[in-house]
Amino acid sequence: MASSADRGGEAPAQGGHRLERDVFRQLIETAPDALVIIDRLGRIVLVNAQTERLFGYDREDLLGQSIEILIPGRFRAQHALHRVGYFKTPRARAMGSGLELSGLRRDGTEFPVEISLAPLETEDGVLISSAIRDVSERKRAEAEVRLVSDRLLSAVESIQDMLALYDAERRMVLCNSAFRSLFARGVEGAIVGRTIEEILDGSLRAGLFETGGEPTSAFRKRCLDYHANPVGTLELQTSDGRALRVTNRRTLEGGIVSTIWDITDDVRKEKELQTARALAEAASSAKSEFLSSMSHELRTPLNSILGFAQLLQRDRKSPLTERQLERLEHVLKGGEHLLRLIDDILDLSRIETGRMTTSLEPVRVAEVLAEVKSTLAPMASRAGITLVVGAVPEQAGEVMADRTRFAQILINYGSNAIKYGRPGGTATLEVKGHDPKLVRVSVSDDGIGIPVEHQSKIFEPFQRAGQETGPIEGTGIGLTITKRLAELMGGSVGFESVAGKGSEFWIDLPRPVALVEQEAAPHATESSGAPSPLAAEGGASYRVVYIEDNPSNIAFMRELMADFDRVALVTVPTAEVGIEVVRDTQPHVVIMDINLPGMSGYEATKKLRSWPETSHIPVIALSAAAMVADRTRVADAGFYRYLTKPVRVSELMETLEELFSGSGTQQLPQ
Ligand code: ADP
């Protein structure tokens, strides 16, 4: 056609035609596609500049050549046939739609093309124009997209959990086979392209879900609401017993990615764990209850053992021989040891069941240290250990603590320092540290120390750090109690120890917040109590009413008082009767058991305090429950003193003496 165009250029001039020709030529030359025009025989009659560029030929090389020169050899025969066919019914259309078409460059390389064909009516007959576009770039991009999407699909497929993607119109875009295997049962045909409503309704019809009594409409609404507003997770139950957790997240395009986990195993494990935990808790609390009531039960016979042993020891009417006294000493020592064990176990079980209460108040450290020193002194001297108490710096004068428990902790530390000390060594109690909020009280020794491998466990119950088989008595619960008590009081404990060199244990307790000296709270054990009603009575006998229901305790008290000729003891088994007896007989002292059937010792004492006829009569509480909670109630009840069982005879005697002597001039009649 180039030739015909040229010829056209030489045609008789007419300005309009020339202009048209020029414009067309330029249009053809600048077209982005390669334009090739062929005649009925398939010969190239016109090409543009883009054809030269695309196929690597010069125009002259192409004109007059068969069009098949631009086609890879293997397609040529086929192409020639099609070409002939096309000339029979020529119309504008894309060539070989659905086929991958290729062009052949002069250098023999191929490239993908897209071709559109159109017939041209000319004076010389029908020609065919083909616009050829190089689509290598597009094909490459498409292949890349395909690769990315294939990778994505195989990643999605490889996920074991169910996964589905919905578009903003709530239609499924893709899902993996795990998802399909559950939901396809409810959907006929392809699942992709279905809306969430269609998939859900299909699943409901197929009975895939166990709605657990929830009406289907409510269940459906819950699921669709979650799809619309995916906050948190949605838990479902399948009818074959699986537990599923759905997590939906919104995509940037406003669609939803839905992940469904099968949590059947987790749910089962969680349930098993809960059951196991409940069982363990029940067992642990049963154990603590058992220990607690057992210890209580053990204390009662121990009362008799220790009480009567003390009576024998002090029996003036028929004194024991030296030998008997020595043996009795063993009974008492064993009994006291047993008592300490029981108290420890009781403490531990109280702490574990959360029944241990502490009453915090500002406590003077020096006073507690002095108290602890006097308690430990006999033990230290028996062990040949020097007990040293350091001076307490003024600024560390007070801590917030439960006085009794604070002392108990230091006694624990101190008795360990003595037990695990070496004869001739030293145990030192002192205040250390400069923390403005805390006071550290440390107990150090130069004893056997604790091997490193045992150090991590010594605050755990029943851990004896290698002493299990040694000669030193212990249970391994002292430090556990110490740590828990310290924590109950808002404090903490710690230690350092070097095997063979010694140990240092400490407790950190908070200082009182208020700087003002607190008024000492009235405390039953320190209260001034009622003035002794006996001061003026000279040699008269003293009436004591003992309210107690336990026969062995009654027998013990009878025996004890029988030693004192001028004490008249009346025993009453219930508080209800007891207080009436007190009102009628106006005794000098009442000894009150706390755990009585019916009215308790507290209530009875309160009553006595409130009646004008009895309010002046001192009441000594005697209780097996050495509980701190009890002690706080002591103040309310208004006891003169609170003593714990097993009765320490000397303690009871001192108290009675104090009461009977009043101004100190009278002595307990003997
Ligand atoms: P125990 O009744 O055995 O003394 P504790 O709970 O008081 O129980 O102490 C636990 C263990 O820690 C002890 O058995 C002992 O091995 C070790 N221990 C505690 N205090 C000291 C100390 N001051 N020196 C050496 N060892 C100690």
Helices (H) and strands (E) in the chain, counts: 20, 23
Distance 465 CA to ligand 1 centre (A): 7
User: Can you read off the two tokens belonging to residue 313?
Assistant: 């020891």
Candidate from 376, 445, 464 with most ligand 1 atoms within 8 A of CB, to mutate: 464
Distance 409 CA to ligand 1 centre (A): 13
Q: Residues lining ligand 1, judged by CB closer than 6 Å?
A: 416-417, 420, 445, 447-450, 458, 463-465, 467, 474-480, 503
Give the atom of ligand 1 at the shortest distance from the alpha carbon of 459: 6
Distance 388 CA to ligand 1 centre (A): 20
The pLDDT score that the predictor gives to residue 193 is: 93
The pLDDT score that the predictor gives to residue 13 is: 54
In Å, how far are 301, 370, 590 from 345, measured between CA atoms? 17, 27, 31
Could you tell me where the beta strands, DSSP code E, fall in 185-322?
Answer: 234-237, 243-250, 256-262
CA distance 15 to 243: 86
Distance 419 CA to ligand 1 centre (A): 8
Give the atom of ligand 1 at the shortest distance from the alpha carbon of 447: 24
The pLDDT score that the predictor gives to residue 634 is: 65
The pLDDT score that the predictor gives to residue 416 is: 95
Which residues in the chain come in under a pLDDT of 70? 1-15, 513-540, 624-635, 662-670
Candidate from 450, 481, 506 with most ligand 1 atoms within 8 A of CB, to mutate: 450
pLDDT tens digits along 174-223 = 999 999 988 888 888 889 999 999 999 999 999 999 988 899 999 999 99
Distance 424 CA to ligand 1 centre (A): 19
CA distance 255 to 259: 13
Distance 391 CA to ligand 1 centre (A): 26
User: Can you read off the two tokens belonging to residue 131?
Assistant: 């616009």
Closest residue by Cα to atom 23, ligand 1, is 417
Give the atom of ligand 1 at the shortest distance from the alpha carbon of 449: 25
CA distance 2 to 273: 89
The pLDDT score that the predictor gives to residue 667 is: 38
* Residue whose entry in the numeric block shows the structure tokens 């020592």: 333
Among 225, 127, 244, 234, residue whose Cα is nearest residue 182: 244
92 Cβ neighbours under 8 A, 6+ residues apart: 116, 117, 118, 119
Which H or E element spans position 288? helix 264-314
The pLDDT score that the predictor gives to residue 100 is: 84
Q: Considering the entire predicted model, what is its pTM?
A: 0.45
Distance 458 CA to ligand 1 centre (A): 7
Give the atom of ligand 1 at the shortest distance from the alpha carbon of 464: 14
Burial of 97 (0-12, 13-18, 19+ CB in 10 A): exposed
pLDDT tens digits along 375-425 = 899 999 999 999 999 988 877 788 988 888 999 999 999 999 999 999 999
Angle between helices 322-352 and 264-314 (to 10 degrees): 150
Closest residue by Cα to atom 8, ligand 1, is 476
In Å, how far are 148, 247, 248, 301 from 166, measured between CA atoms? 19, 13, 10, 78
The pLDDT score that the predictor gives to residue 631 is: 54
